[in-house]
Chain A
Amino acid sequence: MGLPMDPVAANVDAVEPWAGEAEPAQKPEEPSLSARQWVRQNLFSTPFNSVLTVVFGLFSLLVARGLLNFTFSEEREWDAVRTNLRLLFTHAYPEEQYIRIWVCVGTIVVLAGLSVGLLAGRGRGVSMKKLSLNLIGVGSAVALGVVLREPSVLKDADGEVLRDDDGVLRESFAAAMADRWAWWLAAAVLVGAGAALWHLLGDERRRKTFVPSVEMFVALVGLLVASAWVYPWGHYAFADGEFIAEPGRTVAMTTKLPWTVMWVLLIAAIATGRQLRRAGAGGGVRVALNLAWLLSPFVLYWVVLRDPALDWGRVATVDIPLAVLFAVGGAAVLWLLTDPRIGELGRIIATGLVGVAAFNWVAAFFGWYSMLQKVRLSFLLLALAALLAHNFAGERAQRLRLLGGWAAVTAVFHYMATIMNTPSTVETPTEALIGGFAVTVIVAVFTLLFSFPLGVLLALARTSKLPIFRVLATSFIEVIRGVPLITILIFCAVILKLFLPDGMSISLIAAATLGYTFFSAAYLAENVRGGLQSIRRGQFEASDAVGLTGVQRTVFIVLPQALRVSIPPLVGQMIATFKETSLLAIIGIFDLLRMANSVIPAQTQFLGVKREGLLFVCLVYWIFAYSMSKHSQRLEKKLGVGER
């Protein structure tokens, strides 16, 4: 603790500040070094270090030069990326349904804004000192880039590149520098702004004035959005089989309008969140927000993106009655099971329900009797609730709370099951609903959602006292960890279908998600197990001594501490999973990588144009992975991991 906190990091305010101190300790203030002192102390402190600095400095300049020349070379066909942005992000999702995608993005923007507004409290933001240094740094980097990049090629009046015997002709260095006046101007503005900030504020104020990061982020996005309306970024699209490339215009209305709406939504959501916080919104709002986050992937994918064509007659006669039946019947069983006087009978009933639930699956496998899949799953849910019921035994209020929870779970489950079973109205040329980066995100999000609980359960099972759990979990983990991910994915994509009972099918994306989930869960389980093993014996003894049951001990004492310890490896695993989704391309799903690697290079206008797309894919993955890793660092600091 005691580190400057960023408002985004304060997202975790909801999590208790664990073993942290009450007040962050005041860091003794070091006087700022002058630039010269800093350079001497850090870059040229000894002759050997000076040599290292020079050698590796030159090396980085060479790398930067290569990258710049590659990116900005006249040979690059960035039009291939620009025109195909829609393809890269959503593949063949029908254009007239695009509003659905914006609804999804908007929902996420609103949830994120609410979270930031509600939870980001004590953040101080970026200090003026850091801000001015960053401005100077970015400005200098721009200037350096302008100098480093080779001079542009010369073209004749028709736009043909001029050549002589040695190759293409380039303008002189001086002419190139003069041609790039706009870049010089940008660099000068950045450095100038940074320097002005630095000199206008004294050392004291530089360090103690903060720009709130949330506002800064919103302003930057606003600037970008505003530029879309005025600056001629160019209008590029690939729609109805036609390529549009009009460099002189501003971006298409279908781009700038939605993003402007998103920006307004973001501001509104942050403001609402802050208002709620100021009004003293308590745990209830936070729980609701977390629930909304948790449910949003399901609702957004199955309800918004798929637009199910519900058969209302069937909904009224089959789906709703079934849901009500399970809600009421289950509630009655749970009411009985939470009676404090029930004793041994409760365990017998719960075990019986588990038996019924299991038997339904066995029957399905052998085809003894048919049953709706969601009825089978409902029985499973009920058995699970029955097993946990004795923890809620006691007072009327407590029992009613369990019943309320059961009704809510049943309602959500039956709603989702109905929706998922209904065909989609969105028609695409491929089997999949959506492709491109969207499918990357969808697979990654669902993998995380499913693999996290599965991983925790596996870790608990592996450390369980019951040998059957231990053996099952250990075999699962070791088998999965011993097989390459790509093998698991191909197995799931090709072979899994053959194992399913008659009448059941699984889409390619679902099969892939299942494969990722298994793989990720096995690794998560090992990370969580590490956390479990770090819990001291005293914690178990204390839980036992106050009379907690095994389940209560795990849920209230062991897991919260174990998960906290495992945050760094867990986030690492999440980032790895996110990046590994690029393997989707190999099993035939049109994901981001496949778009850039196979689809775009096959278009007549951009035959064989691969490099630009791949570079773009790198950039997209990097932006997301880097933000996740940054966020996890803040989370670790906030939770005080590693400083027990």
Chain B
Amino acid sequence: MSVSDATTAVTAELAARDDMIVCEGVNKWFGDFQALDGISAVIKEREVVVVLGPSGSGKSTWIRCINRLEVHQEGRIVVDGVELTNDLRNIEKIRSEVGMVFQQFNLFPHLTVLDNITLAPIWVRKKPKRETEELARSLLERVGIPEQAEKYPGQLSGGQQQRVAIARALAMEPRIMLFDEPTSALDPEMIKEVLDVMKELATSGMTMMVVTHEMGFAREVADRVIFMEDGQIVETGTPEHFFTSPEEERTRLFLSQIL
């Protein structure tokens, strides 16, 4: 599947936007195991892409390659016009442009919520402390937990922690947000509060790439759904196309198991 194929599925309006993430023939191995097998895709500005697939299909590996938490061995990844190479400065630049939300939240347990959020803007973006704290409080407002600023992550529920993690990523004012199974470690009653924040973020025009098992979210919010299996992109399409009339047999099988 080539870049042009991937883009035919989206509207002409989408095609006219800038490319935010471009992957061309990305291959990655863990030892002998090939985790990514010729991944090629383009993600446009303000686009919300949901990556689906059975576990072990390489979705998380792919998303982690995009901000270089994993190193791909072949192919190109270009993020916002900067190619990911071993050059440290490129990696630093991309990481400050790309926000990431993890399955296990990965908040810093020894820092308050406020410090978790302000640490990177102050030390990476070199912003004044007061300004950053105001920004952090407004972000906490945005994710719906303004009253938790002085607490420690261990004192919050999983859903609250994940929302702090989103606020932490947003504090860097990223152009792209990556979500690596953001709701998988959450109790069912907390999933909605996190998804609501993500929906709001999507409506605000953030470029988002989301690995998730939340089909409802994919159907409602995604501009495009990418289905992966065995390290390959199997099928790409709009949510209606994907959930109602998938072309590939493997996609149908996956959907029948999950829906």
Contacts and interface: CB of A to CB of B under 8 A. Distances in A.
Interface of A: 16-22, 340, 391, 393-395, 397-398, 536, 538-539, 541-549, 552, 556-557, 560-561, 564, 644
Interface string B199-215: 00000000000000000
B124 A546 contact: yes
A19 B96 contact: no
B186 to A, nearest CB: 16
**Which of the four size classes fits the interface of chain B?**
20 to 34
A388 to B, nearest CB: 12
A397 to B, nearest CB: 7
B49 interface: no
Contact of B69 (A393, A397, A545): A545
B153 interface: yes
Interface in B113-135: 119-120, 123-124, 126, 128
B157 interface: no
Given A538-B104, A545-B69, A560-B110, 9 more contacts: A16-B152, A18-B152, A18-B154, A22-B151, A22-B155, A393-B126, A544-B69, A547-B96, A556-B108
Counting from the closest, the 7 A-B pairs by CB-CB distance are A394-B126, A19-B154, A542-B106, A546-B120, A538-B106, A547-B96, A545-B100
B50 interface: no
A19 B161 CA distance: 13
A546 B154 contact: no
A19 B109 contact: yes
- Main secondary structure, interface of B, reads loop
Nearest to B124: A547
A20 B154 contact: yes
A549 B110 contact: no
Contacts of B102: 538, 541-542, 545
Given A544-B95, A545-B95, A547-B120, A18 B126 contact: no
A340 B110 contact: no
A16 B128 CA distance: 23
A536 B124 CA distance: 22
A98 B18 CA distance: 79
A539 B109 CA distance: 9
Contacts of B224: none
Interface in B151-166: 151-155
A393 B124 CA distance: 10
Given A547-B120, A549-B92, A541 B152 contact: no
26 contacts: A16-B111, A18-B109, A18-B110, A18-B154, A19-B109, A19-B152, A19-B153, A19-B155, A20-B155, A536-B106, A538-B102, A538-B104, A542-B100, A542-B102, A542-B106, A542-B108, A544-B67, A545-B69, A546-B169, A546-B172, A547-B172, A548-B119, A548-B120, A549-B92, A556-B111, A560-B110
B168 interface: yes
A531 to B, nearest CB: 12
B109 A561 contact: yes
B21 to A, nearest CB: 15
Contacts of B7: none
A383 to B, nearest CB: 21
Nearest to B64: A541
Contacts of B92: 547, 549
A542 B110 contact: no
Contacts of B69: 541, 544-545
Nearest to A546: B120
Contacts of B108: 539, 542-543, 556-557, 561
A644 B110 CA distance: 11
B238 interface: no
Contacts of B67: 544-545
B151 to A, nearest CB: 7
B57 interface: no
B124 A548 contact: yes
A605 B107 CA distance: 68
Interface string B82-115: 0000000000100110111010101111111000
A612 B155 CA distance: 55
Contact of B152 (A20, A398, A564): A20
Nearest to A539: B106
Which of A391, A397, A542, A548 has the most C-beta atoms of chain B within 10 angstroms of its own C-beta? A542
B178 to A, nearest CB: 8
Nearest to B97: A547
Interface centre among B95, B100, B109, B172 (most CB of A within 10 A): B109
Contacts of B112: 16
Given A19-B109, A542-B102, A542-B108, A548 B152 contact: no
B128 to A, nearest CB: 6
A541 B67 CA distance: 10
A398 B155 contact: no
Contacts of B68: 544
Interface in B37-96: 67-69, 92, 95-96
Given A541-B69, A546-B168, A546-B169, A340 B152 contact: no
B124 A21 contact: no
A395 B127 CA distance: 8
Contacts of B110: 16, 18-19, 560-561, 564
Of A393, A398, A539, A545, most B-chain CB atoms within 10 Å: A545
A94 B107 CA distance: 58
A542 B107 contact: yes
A507 B110 CA distance: 42
A74 to B, nearest CB: 59
A563 to B, nearest CB: 10
A393 B125 CA distance: 10
B154 A548 contact: no
Contacts of A17: 152
A19 B113 CA distance: 11
Nearest to A543: B108
Contacts of A19: 109-110, 152-155
Contacts of A556: 108, 111, 119, 123
Nearest to A640: B154
A536 B120 CA distance: 19
Contacts of B172: 546-547
A340 B126 contact: yes
Nearest to B119: A556
Interface string B141-159: 0000000000111110000
Contacts of A398: 126
